């Protein structure tokens, strides 16, 4: 276990109560719940999810029998523990890649490799045409607004393929402008300013737009090379299968607690189609499940209602949590005190990431009260002699719908495809220069992909924060200020896919 000895529980709880602005006479003591929520208990649920995936084609993707079995595995346990459970059904369209081709046909010939050199967005169709660069910015810094304004396409020849640079506005806006001016296809290359996330391969989405022309993303270096090639002509072909996905969220409420201060503790239960998703996000949902079960086993009756939520459709764009929030009335939005989100908490090369609620690290804070959530987590890890690092509210997980609605949020993350630095390896162990989770979105995200030391301290932190907010006797500052969506529409991601 990567922790030091516990500090005095009363001192920790008192500091948390003060940070949260609580008026409780007796600070929340989370010791019994933390002791009850063990890594072994969470691992038992993860083994069950692995078994479900093994019996259902190797995954638990939304809309599949593997996901449905995962839902009912958890529902049966929560029902037996006395929770009030609800199945929330919804549906959406998902595009699945059937095939893709990308090649240079003039002045030379070259074939590009799917996943390594490029990846299709939601576009569909075939283009064989010259390539026209659109308002590129290839200097240093590469502060591009390429394709964001209609006038960027002045002089564009209808029928050509548009070469567009990432930056400033959404991919959807760039593609819609290209379509308006008659582009037969769109190549969007990375922006070129900053680290690998702005130079290497990226996976993008067009939001609400499903284009009837092929649209692909590629690296900055490839984009630079294309921009410097005179007489360039290319072949683009993307074949996408569109299918309706019928799926469900699982909601489980404590039978007691103030409904006007509901604490929503959530994570996504669906996996990608490529694997069983034991870390992503079996780890988060299994820990949430075990926390709920142990609260019931200990007979804890929270001051505030706790709503444990297991979202679907996250891997296709945060769709389950977005749907849930969209169905809430204004009064129901105001009744939610806080959202705690747990997405990947057992990564094998982990860092203890805490969402940057106050914005001091990334310049984008959550709604009022999110700083309190961050403080609850960082204070807990500090009390265990453990380090933490901030992670941005960038739209990559299910908190997004909540913060867009003005609801305070926060949570934990142990790392995905990002690369561990030398400094992080010194603090947290593991291997520098390697992804936090080398099996992210892959078939190898199995039960063997979990670091139990990470899961141990993360599960303690999840239990601690859940009970702390469940027993807080005064609202988090700013809680009752739910508002219309739009607060974070400039987020850079929807789930795993970049949107700008």
Judging by DSSP bridges, how do beta strands 409-413 and 353-355 pair with one another?
antiparallel
Residue 423, number of CB atoms within 10 A of its CB: 10
Decide if 314 is catalytic: yes
Longest dimension (CA), the chain: 77
Is residue 136 helix, strand or coil? coil
Element (H, E) at 215: strand 215-218
Beta-carbon contacts of 18 under 8 Å, excluding residues fewer than 6 positions away, are: none
CA distance 429 to 115: 30
Peptide bond into 131 cis (omega under 30): no
SS3 for 257-308, per residue? CEEEEEEEEEEECCECCCCCCHHHHHHHHHHHHHHHHHHHHCCCCCCEEEEE
Specify the residue for token string 């001192």: 11
Catalytic residue among 122, 172, 290, 314: 314
Which residue's entry shows tokens 């199945």?
87
Length of the chain: 500
Decide the pairing of beta strands 389-391 and 353-355: parallel
Does residue 100 sit in helix, strand or coil? strand
DSSP state of 125: E
Taking residue 297's Cβ as centre, other Cβ atoms within 10 Å add up to 11
Sort residue 251 into left (φ over 0), alpha (ψ -120 to 50) or beta. beta
Active site (catalytic) residues? 314
């Amino acid at each position: 276990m990567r922790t030091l000895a516990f500090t005095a529980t009363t001192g920790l709880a008192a500091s948390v109560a003060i940070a949260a602005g609580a008026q409780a006479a007796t600070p929340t003591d989370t010791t019994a719940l933390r002791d009850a929520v063990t890594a072994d208990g969470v691992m038992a649920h993860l083994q069950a999810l692995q078994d479900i995936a093994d019996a259902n084609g190797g995954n638990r993707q939304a809309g599949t029998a593997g996901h449905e079995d995962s839902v009912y595995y958890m529902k049966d346990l929560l029902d037996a523990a006395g929770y009030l459970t609800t199945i929330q059904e919804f549906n959406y369209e998902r595009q699945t890649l059937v095939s893709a081709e990308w090649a240079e046909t003039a002045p030379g010939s070259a074939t590009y490799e799917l996943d390594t050199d490029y990846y299709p967005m939601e576009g569909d169709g075939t283009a064989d045409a010259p390539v026209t660069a659109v308002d590129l910015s290839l200097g240093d810094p590469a502060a591009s607004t390429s394709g964001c304004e209609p006038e960027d396409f002045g002089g564009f020849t209808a029928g050509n393929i548009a070469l567009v640079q990432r930056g400033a506005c959404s991919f959807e806006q760039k593609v819609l402008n290209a379509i308006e001016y008659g582009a037969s296809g769109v190549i969007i290359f990375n922006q070129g300013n900053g680290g690998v996330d702005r130079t290497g391969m990226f996976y993008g989405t067009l939001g609400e737009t499903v284009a009837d022309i092929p649209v692909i993303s590629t690296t900055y270096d490839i984009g630079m090379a294309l921009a410097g090639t005179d007489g360039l002509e290319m072949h683009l072909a993307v074949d996408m299968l569109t299918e309706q996905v019928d799926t469900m969220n699982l909601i489980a409420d404590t039978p007691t607690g103030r409904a006007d201060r509901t604490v929503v503790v959530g994570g996504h239960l669906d996996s990608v189609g490529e694997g069983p998703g034991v870390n992503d996000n079996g780890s988060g949902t299994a820990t949430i499940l075990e926390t709920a079960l142990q609260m019931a086993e200990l007979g804890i009756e929270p001051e505030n209602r706790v709503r444990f939520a297991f979202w679907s459709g996250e891997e296709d764009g945060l769709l389950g949590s977005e749907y849930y929030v969209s169905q809430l009335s204004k009064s129901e939005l105001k009744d939610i005190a806080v959202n705690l989100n747990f997405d990947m908490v057992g990564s094998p090369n982990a860092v203890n990431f805490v969402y940057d609620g106050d914005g001091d690290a990334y310049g984008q804070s959550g709604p009022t009260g999110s700083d309190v959530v961050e403080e609850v987590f960082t204070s807990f890890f500090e009390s265990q002699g453990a380090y933490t690092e901030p992670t941005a509210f960038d739209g990559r997980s299910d908190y997004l719908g909540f913060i867009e609605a003005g609801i305070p949020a926060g949570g934990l993350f142990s790392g995905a495809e990002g690369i561990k630095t030398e400094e992080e390896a010194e603090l947290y162990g593991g291997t520098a220069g390697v992804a936090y989770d080398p099996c992210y979105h892959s078939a190898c995200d199995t039960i063997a992909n979990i670091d139990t030391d990470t899961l141990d301290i993360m599960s303690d932190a999840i239990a601690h924060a859940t009970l702390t907010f469940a027993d807080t006797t005064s609202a988090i500052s700013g809680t009752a200020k739910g508002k219309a969506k739009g607060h974070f529409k400039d987020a850079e991601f929807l789930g795993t896919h970049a949107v700008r």
